[in-house]
Amino acid sequence: MRDFMNEVKSPLFDGISLEDRKTMLGCIGYHVGTFKKGDIVAFEEENIKHIGIILSGAVDMVKEDLWGNKTMLVRMRKDELFGETFACGEDNMSVVTFIVSEDAKILFLPFDRVMHSCTMACVFHHRLIENMVHIIANKNRDLMRKVEVVSKRTIRERLLAYLSIQAQIQESRYFEIPLGRVELAEYLCVDRSALTRELAKMKDDGLIDYDKNCFRIL
């Protein structure tokens, strides 16, 4: 029933042994859901009371305006968390929609039981709370990176900012980005065709080289 815990590498469980993880699940409670590509995990304005840990597949955090224009804020993959920012809020209301971008299996944990020690005062629970705080802090850092990128005026400036951040994260001038062209255009809030043209121009100008999702900063 809990064999999937052997495969989970989520930072939420850092420093917690496999046996303690199994005990924790019994203490906190959980459920696992399977989703197809395009399924909605949670709608905007929905109350979020559980955090999700992606066991397989991918989930996009998407913002849609009144005219139906969608902006992908971030794509989350195996072992990553989502929903914690809203679950810890005063009213628990999500301001984004979570959409499955690749067939996914997701582990759901009730946020209030994650963040509050049970009557048994399990030792591992304190570590769990510490890990959650670190994850929320890291997510805020990632969103600041997003703000940094989309605050640039031109497509080229946004691309350079995004690729620079990816190079720094991967500590190499040669790296692979996690987004395809459609997803990258959504992330940068630009037109896909305009993005493709600008990438070709940047390559001609000797700024970058690329093959599909593999890039090299020259």
> What SS3 string covers the chain?
CCHHHHCCCCHHHCCCCHHHHHHHHHHHCCEEEEECCCCEEECCCCECCEEEEEEEEEEEEEEECCCCCEEEEEEECCCCEECHHHHCCCCCECCCEEEEEEEEEEEEEEHHHHHCCCCCCCHHHHHHHHHHHHHHHHHHHHHHHHHHHHCCCCHHHHHHHHHHHHHHHHCCCEEECCCCHHHHHHHHCCCHHHHHHHHHHHHHCCCEEEECCEEEEC
Query: Residue 35 maps to which CATH number?
Result: 2.60.120.10
Last residue of a domain, one of 146, 165, 198: 146
Q: What is residue 123's predicted lDDT score, i.e. its pLDDT?
A: 73
- The CATH number covering residue 205 comes to 1.10.10.10
- The mean per-residue pLDDT over the stretch 126-152 comes to 88
| Same domain? 167 vs 75 | no
Over residues 55-106, the pLDDT tens digits come to 999 999 998 887 878 888 888 999 999 999 888 877 888 999 999 999 999 9
The residue from 131, 146, 161 where one domain ends is 146
Residue where a domain stops, chosen among 90, 124, 146: 146
Residue carrying the six token digits 């005063």: 90
pLDDT recorded at residue 122: 67
Question: How many domains, in total, are found in the chain?
Answer: 2
CB contact set of 112 (below 8 Å; sequence gap of 6+): 49
Q: Are residues 141 and 186 in the same domain?
A: no
Among 97-106, 136-145, 169-178, 199-208, whose mean pLDDT is lowest?
136-145
Report if pTM > 0.85: no
- Asked whether residue 88 falls in the same domain as residue 141, the answer is yes
More confident residue, 118 or 39: 39
Which residues constitute the domain of residue 126? 3-146
- In terms of domains, do 138 and 188 share one? no
Average pLDDT over residues 97-124: 84
- Does 124 lie in the same domain as 213? no
Name the residue with higher pLDDT: 88 or 176.
176
> Is residue 85 located within the same domain as residue 192?
no
108 plus 52 within the same structural domain: yes
Same domain, 101 and 158: no
| The pLDDT of residue 18 is above 90 | no
Q: Are residues 78 and 169 in the same domain?
A: no
* Judgement on whether residues 14 and 113 belong to the same structural domain of the protein: yes
Q: In the predicted model, is pLDDT for residue 195 greater than 90? A: yes
pLDDT value for 138: 87
Residues 99 and 182 reside in one and the same domain: no
Q: What is the pLDDT of residue 38?
A: 95
127 with 108, same domain: the answer is yes
